[in-house]
Structure 1
């Protein structure tokens, strides 16, 4: 029994020594790992603080719109940065938000470029579908205003677009309008697209007058086979469209706008039944009973399509 006890004590002592060696080894490994991580972090910090990682001029910024590479002059007009500036102090998300506040830009993506140092920016422009003409002497605001809509009209969500200061138009302001109702100053669009084609559709009136129903109206006329050249929104009680069939009165803009556009499409036969000089305007205020006003001041019911 004494021999068994002696062997057990020796074995326990060896095990304790082995455990101490393992613990010491783990401590040493932990220290080396900490030193290595600290050295790596310090090295990276040293590299990032070197003068080469500095944005010194607009030439280091590459901005594209689709497949088009924008000029340095255009970049300077859209993006205001101080030079020189550490590339690591620049916040891409802040620059993207700043660009998206530009009226002509719908979305922007910004990332750092390490070799060579610089910025990579991709923008998505707003696509104009109409030219707006504000009556002279009336104040305009660009966006973020939800006017009161017609009583029976389904409200459309206010489009997200930048705020412009209120200004008095002297000879009538001209801007561009996209499908969502966002206003784009003409000079901002031409700065990005100097050779871009302007839309032929014309809209007359204040943005507050047509913004509640613009999205629904444009969707309806863009899908219609009747060409629309001009939309007059100045009278809130009577929306007037100039079309290839003639002038059309729609009355108060309501949720029936798409239905009224469809009634207009069904009246494509009118030019064959009336001479252009005879037709004063088409009245579709009541889509169930459209009327044709002739120049002889005689109202007649529109023939069945």
Structure 2
């Protein structure tokens, strides 16, 4: 009798386990069917022509104040037409981020209507510069921006014209970052920085030509000394000053031009 009870119990248990396995298999099959249907529906929806970027009119640009829309378009390769889902926003962002005129780029998709939104943050030029690459501009960080990037730009009047750095190169970036604030607050206006000769950087100022030498770490002291010479034109005419030597800011030297020779004229002879 006991054996029959045990046998029936085992059969019931097997039957229960078998039923549970069938239900589990059915649930898995049901989940797979639903998931497959959703994926198929998604693929079908993504294939709608409404999700196609056909031309530049479906690209929304935000944040560009200096660069024109056409210049922004030229910064990334995008062939038309193309499904909005096939466009790599990350690749576009990385490609555009390589432009020295831009500091930040964010690319996103907009579905209703289908558009590509590109938001940029431009570098702000604060000085004119010339380099081995040609003419351009510098931002506060010392990044060189070729002037050709702004050709046909939106607001060319916003580009700087009052301060120029001649012979700029990567070796001067740290100098620029550290000393631009001193230049802005300098007691004497600096018009041009000439770094074409690394052994003797020169400044063009309201007091004339200034020699700085090669030790650029003393630039703040040199500007301070230059400020103390603001009244120099009251003692020496500016046209007589050849250059001011601030190689040693503690002992400034003034090099004058030789006086112009007096023109000798024959005395007039009065006719009798």
Query: For the superposition of Structure 1 and Structure 2, which TM-score range results when normalised by the shorter chain?
Result: 0.7 to 0.9
Structure 2 CA distance for partners of 1:6 and 1:272, relative to 1, 3 Å: farther
Match of 2:118 in 1: 121
Q: How far, CA to CA, are the matches of 1:99 and 1:253 in structure 2?
A: 38
Rg (Cα) greater in structure: 2
> Which of 60, 70, 94 is the aligned partner of 1:62?
60
The one-character-per-residue Cα deviations of 1:110-137 (angstroms, maximum 9, x if unpaired) are 1222221121111121211211246xxx
Q: Secondary structure at the match of 2:48?
A: coil
TM-superposed CA distance for 1:88, in Å, is 2.2
TM-superposed CA distance for 1:278, in Å, is 4.8
Alignment gaps of 5+ in structure 1:
135-139, 142-172, 298-305
The one-character-per-residue Cα deviations of 1:195-235 (angstroms, maximum 9, x if unpaired) are 44221102223646755744334344235444311112222
Alignment gaps of 5+ in structure 2:
260-272
Indicate yes or no: 2:107 matched with 1:110: yes
Runs of 4+ in 1 over 6 A off after TM superposition: none
TM-superposed CA distance for 1:29, in Å, is 0.5
> Which of 15, 18, 22 is the aligned partner of 2:16?
18
Q: How far, CA to CA, are the matches of 2:163 and 2:217 in structure 1?
A: 22
> What does residue range 178-197 of structure 1 map to in structure 2 within 5 Å?
178-197=139-158
> Which of 120, 138, 144 is the aligned partner of 1:177?
138
Are the equivalent residues in 2 in contact too, given 1:55–1:85 (CA < 8 A)?
yes
The one-character-per-residue Cα deviations of 1:219-254 (angstroms, maximum 9, x if unpaired) are 442354443111122222211112234432101143
Are the equivalent residues in 2 in contact too, given 1:54–1:86 (CA < 8 A)?
yes
Q: How far, CA to CA, are the matches of 1:195 and 1:69 in structure 2?
A: 7
Count of residue pairs brought into register by the alignment: 258
TM-superposed CA distance for 1:15, in Å, is 2.9
- CA RMSD, aligned part only? 3.0
